[in-house]
Amino acid sequence: MREAILSLALTPGTVLSRNALAAQYGVSSTPVRDALMRLEEEGLVEVFPQHATVVSAIDLTLARQAHFLRRSLELELVRDLSHAPDPRLIARLKACLAEQQALMEAQDVEAFAAADQVFHRHLYEAGQMQALWTLVRSRSGHIDRLRRLHLPTPGKAQNILQHHTWIVEAIAAGDSDRAQQHLRDHLSGTLAHVDEIRSRYPGYVRG
């Protein structure tokens, strides 16, 4: 259910029926209720008692907070990884780049978005910060949806791939300053286009 919200298969404003969800996933009402409670904690749904549960709009304040958290962590990660480049990490990242290139050419937006996340997860795993990746993912619902709205924009996927390539090259070269600059530019791309996204998807974004 969370992935359906993040991928925008369930768009902001969608009314969620507990009975329909239980039938869809083949479970009882209890796990559906528990799942909705967790999604409410993340701000991804709004529960109106005795009335309805609705997929929430993208909250710009929460999106900016998640962006700040992720940028702060990953700037330190790429700095540390650049100080002692690991050939095994570089190989994994280059494999990600090749996969992203293929997915971009196939215009598979969903798979490209997933591969983007895998690329960043490799950085956390290489830095032995897997728990922080879990934390980031749990706080990133709003920024992830904003990025998902932005991804189909012409040139956006190419831009992501180019920045990923530059980040890998900088880490491999041991150039921490350049790695940090490319990462900062990469992660800031979507928030710089909020007004454009809001105009294209009225009602999806608040704040």
CATH architecture of 60-192: Up-down Bundle (1.20)
Position 176 scores a pLDDT of 97
Model pLDDT for residues 130-140, shown as the tens digit of each residue: 999 999 999 99
Residue pair 92/125 in contact (Cβ under 8 Å)? The answer is no
> How far is the C-alpha of 138 from the C-alpha of 148, rounded, in Å?
16
Q: Give yes or no for a contact between 6 and 51, defined as CB atoms under 8 angstroms apart.
A: no
pLDDT digits (tens, 9 = 90+) for 187-201: 988 998 999 999 999
In sequence order, what are the residues at sequence separation of 6 or more whose Cβ sits closer than 8 angstroms to the Cβ of residue 53?
A: 15, 16, 18, 36, 45, 46, 47
Contacts of 67 (CB under 8 A, 6+ apart): 143, 187, 188, 191
| Predicted pLDDT at 48 | 87
Query: Which CATH architecture fits 2-56?
Result: Orthogonal Bundle (1.10)
pLDDT tens string 67-102: 999 999 999 999 999 999 999 999 999 999 999 999
What integer best gives the mean pLDDT of the chain? 95
pTM greater than the 0.85 cutoff: yes
**Domain boundaries of the chain, sorted by first residue:** 2-56, 60-192
pLDDT for the residue numbered 50:
77
Q: With pLDDT > 70 as the criterion, what percentage of the chain qualifies? A: 100
State the DSSP H helix or E strand holding residue 141, giving kind and residue range, or none if neither. helix 141-150
Counting residues of the chain whose pLDDT is more than 90, the rounded percentage is 90
Say what the pLDDT of residue 52 is: 85
Confidence at residue 104, expressed as pLDDT on a 0 to 100 scale:
97
Q: Please report, for residues 100, 141, 184, the alpha-carbon distance to residue 138 in angstroms, rounded to integers and kept in the order given.
A: 24, 7, 21
